[in-house]
């Protein structure tokens, strides 16, 4: 059998893209295709497929065309891969070894690089293929090193280099490396600090903002600022303010007017995964832009966060449950249990009565910290799931009516607002007409008082709607806060002191080591 079924692999590289944008499209995908087709014809290969990717670096693994080609290789769809050069195939040394020297030969597939003369059928060619691969990898390493060092220099110069601005700021249209205040979002930020300093918890603040329909930063950036911003952590369906978002905002020094950059390393030349950098490597430049939060206010928020996490019981070792954990039988607060040997120290809890008065008064009720954590996390997730399903059922049963009326009121308010704006415009136009002598003073007064009357009516309607919705809103707010706290905790990977405080009133440990959790939130449906 003649093995002459060939596929072409095309990839636009960074250098090509530069050339093409300068008007020289000799390197374009179209021309690569022509070149490879020519070659195939001249060698009497039958072209059975074309795969292409526009990944520019040749290093990332998410090249759909490449992947497809490799899948098809397994299906015996072709015998030869033709590419412009080996580096089009991959610049990654690991790839070269894995595919060119292992997978493809095992499948009996040959690789040909038209321009660099690479041919896997040629055994003597192997050394030069490896050298090629290495050189290509060095090239990428150098390239990204250069980019990184020029990035760092700019960061040290106080230039903002992020793709997306911190919420509350936008890019200065005159200088894209400078931040200016975005008044709307900045007000939301100020409000978050105010709410926090007046005693609201982070989840609660989230619930307040969500209930008011304030867009979360991701959506705001996308829909209002028109940024092509995508937060990978955010589910597409997330529309409510999370505990984490509020937490981040309360701790972001950007709001003091300082730029903190180089917090994550995104320029690793081999993969796109972001790596958090240690604090020493952060590049901080002070007073690069206008502050949104006063330093005193920021400091207070920091202090408050520390005390709020500390105030119930001392924070020795892992104090997540301090002050919340009780013996189910004697109802006393439990004592910490320490390891006798080793550096582990605090390892769990046991009944204080048992510890201080002996087993004739209560049994040990001993529980290990790790077991406790796991059980609590499990229970929270379970509870969250129950609530969400219960919520769904209730929505079907009757709550729908409430949601519909909420929508109705919202629509009503929107209409009234529009009407009010229209009246304002009319008033302004009437005034202009009067100033331009198009209408008389009498006409002007008549028109304007008519508009004013109408506006008064509208204002009255507005407050009527508000008082009608107030009750419902408060209920909705409580409900949302409660749902939200659980939703947050569903996504939680590990327990935090704050989350535990926000969700749980107390935990009782039973004699058999099982636990009973008393949640702070009352199920409104129970």
List interacting residues with Zn ion (CB under 5 A). 327, 329-330, 351, 353, 362
Q: Which is nearer to Zn ion, 244 or 364 (CB)?
A: 364
Report DSSP state, residue 26. G
Q: CA-based diameter of the chain, in Å?
A: 101
Cross-strand bridge partners of residue 80: 6, 110
Q: Which is nearer to Zn ion, 245 or 353 (CB)?
A: 353
Provide, rounded to whole angstroms, the least separation between the CB of residue 344 and Zn ion. Answer: 24
Provide, rounded to whole angstroms, the least separation between the CB of residue 520 and Zn ion. Answer: 23
Cα angle value 116/122/128 (rounded, 5°)? 50
First CA to last CA across the chain, in angstroms?
Answer: 74
Strands 346-351 and 334-338: antiparallel
Contacts of 460 (CB under 8 A, 6+ apart): none
Report DSSP state, residue 280. G
Q: Which is nearer to Zn ion, 280 or 512 (CB)?
A: 512
**Residue 44 backbone class (left: φ over 0; alpha: ψ -120 to 50; beta: rest):** left
State the virtual CA torsion across 58, 63, 65, 71 in degrees, nearest 10: 110
Provide, rounded to whole angstroms, the least separation between the CB of residue 313 and Zn ion. Answer: 18
Provide, rounded to whole angstroms, the least separation between the CB of residue 497 and Zn ion. Answer: 24
Q: Which is nearer to Zn ion, 330 or 465 (CB)?
A: 330
CA 262 vs. chain centroid, Å, equals 18
Provide, rounded to whole angstroms, the least separation between the CB of residue 352 and Zn ion. Answer: 7
Q: Which is nearer to Zn ion, 73 or 362 (CB)?
A: 362
Q: Which is nearer to Zn ion, 12 or 351 (CB)?
A: 351
Q: Which residue is nearest to Zn ion (CB)?
A: 327
CA 334 vs. chain centroid, Å, equals 39
How far CA 513 is from CA of 16, 70, 72, 364, 510, in Å, comes to: 66, 53, 55, 9, 5
Q: Which is nearer to Zn ion, 20 or 330 (CB)?
A: 330
Provide, rounded to whole angstroms, the least separation between the CB of residue 326 and Zn ion. Answer: 8
Provide, rounded to whole angstroms, the least separation between the CB of residue 201 and Zn ion. Answer: 31
CA-CA distance, 81 to 329, in Å (whole number)?
A: 74
Q: Which is nearer to Zn ion, 93 or 328 (CB)?
A: 328
Written as six digits, the tokens of 331 are 């109802």
Contacts of 271 (CB under 8 A, 6+ apart): 60, 61
Cβ 183 vs Cβ 168: under 8 Å: no
The residue behind tokens 């409104």 is 524
CA-CA distance, 490 to 487, in Å (whole number)?
A: 5
Provide, rounded to whole angstroms, the least separation between the CB of residue 366 and Zn ion. Answer: 11
Provide, rounded to whole angstroms, the least separation between the CB of residue 508 and Zn ion. Answer: 10
Q: Which is nearer to Zn ion, 332 or 422 (CB)?
A: 332
């Amino acid at each position: 059998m003649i093995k002459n079924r060939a596929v072409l692999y095309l990839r636009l590289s960074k250098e090509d893209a530069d050339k093409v944008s300068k008007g020289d499209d000799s390197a374009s995908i179209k021309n690569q295709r022509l070149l490879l087709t020519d070659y195939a014809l001249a060698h009497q290969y039958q072209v059975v497929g074309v795969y292409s990717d526009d990944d520019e670096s040749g290093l990332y693994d998410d090249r759909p065309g490449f992947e497809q080609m490799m899948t098809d290789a397994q299906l015996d769809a072709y015998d030869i891969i033709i590419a412009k050069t080996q580096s089009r195939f991959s610049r990654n040394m690991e790839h070269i070894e894995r595919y060119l020297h292992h997978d493809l030969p095992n499948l009996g597939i040959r690789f040909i690089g038209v321009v660099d003369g690479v041919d896997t059928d040629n055994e003597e060619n192997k050394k030069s293929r490896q050298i090629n691969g290495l050189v290509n990898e060095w090239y990428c390493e150098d390239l990204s090193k250069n980019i990184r060092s020029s990035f760092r220099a700019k960061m040290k110069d106080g230039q903002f280099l992020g793709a997306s601005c911190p919420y509350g700021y936008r890019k200065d249209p005159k200088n894209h490396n400078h931040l200016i205040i975005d008044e709307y979002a900045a007000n939301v930020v100020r409000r978050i600090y105010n709410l926090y300093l007046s005693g609201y918890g982070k989840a609660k603040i989230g619930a307040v903002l969500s209930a008011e329909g304030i867009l979360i930063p991701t959506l705001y950036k996308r829909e209002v600022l028109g940024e092509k911003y995508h937060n990978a952590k955010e589910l597409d369906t997330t529309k409510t303010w999370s505990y984490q978002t509020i937490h981040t905002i309360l701790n972001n020094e950007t709001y003091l007017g300082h730029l903190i950059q180089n917090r994550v390393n995104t320029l690793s030349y081999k993969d796109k995964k972001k790596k958090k950098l240690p604090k020493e490597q952060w590049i901080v430049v002070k007073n690069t832009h206008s502050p949104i939060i006063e330093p005193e206010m920021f400091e207070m928020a920091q202090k408050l966060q520390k005390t709020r996490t500390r105030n119930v019981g001392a924070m020795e070792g892992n104090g997540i449950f301090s002050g919340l954990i009780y013996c189910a039988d004697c109802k006393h607060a439990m004592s910490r249990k320490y390891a006798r040997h080793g550096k582990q120290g605090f390892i769990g809890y046991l009944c204080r009565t048992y510890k201080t008065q002996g087993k004739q008064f209560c049994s040990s009720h001993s529980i290990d910290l790790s077991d406790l954590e796991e059980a609590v996390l499990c229970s929270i997730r379970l509870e969250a799931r129950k609530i969400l399903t219960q919520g769904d059922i209730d929505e079907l049963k009757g709550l729908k009516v409430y949601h519909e009326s909420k929508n109705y009121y919202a629509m009503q308010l929107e209409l009234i607002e529009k009407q009010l704006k229209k009246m304002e415009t009319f008033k302004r136009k009437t005034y202009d007409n009067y100033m331009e002598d198009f209408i008389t003073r009498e006409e002007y007064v008549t028109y304007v008082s008519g508009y004013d009357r109408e506006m008064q009516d509208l204002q009255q309607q507005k407050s009527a709607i508000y008082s009608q919705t107030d009750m419902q809103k408060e209920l909705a707010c409580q409900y949302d806060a409660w749902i939200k706290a659980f939703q947050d905790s569903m996504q939680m990977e590990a327990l935090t002191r704050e989350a535990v405080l926000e969700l749980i009133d107390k935990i009782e440990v039973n004699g058999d080591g099982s636990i009973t959790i008393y949640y702070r939130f009352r199920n409104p449906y129970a």
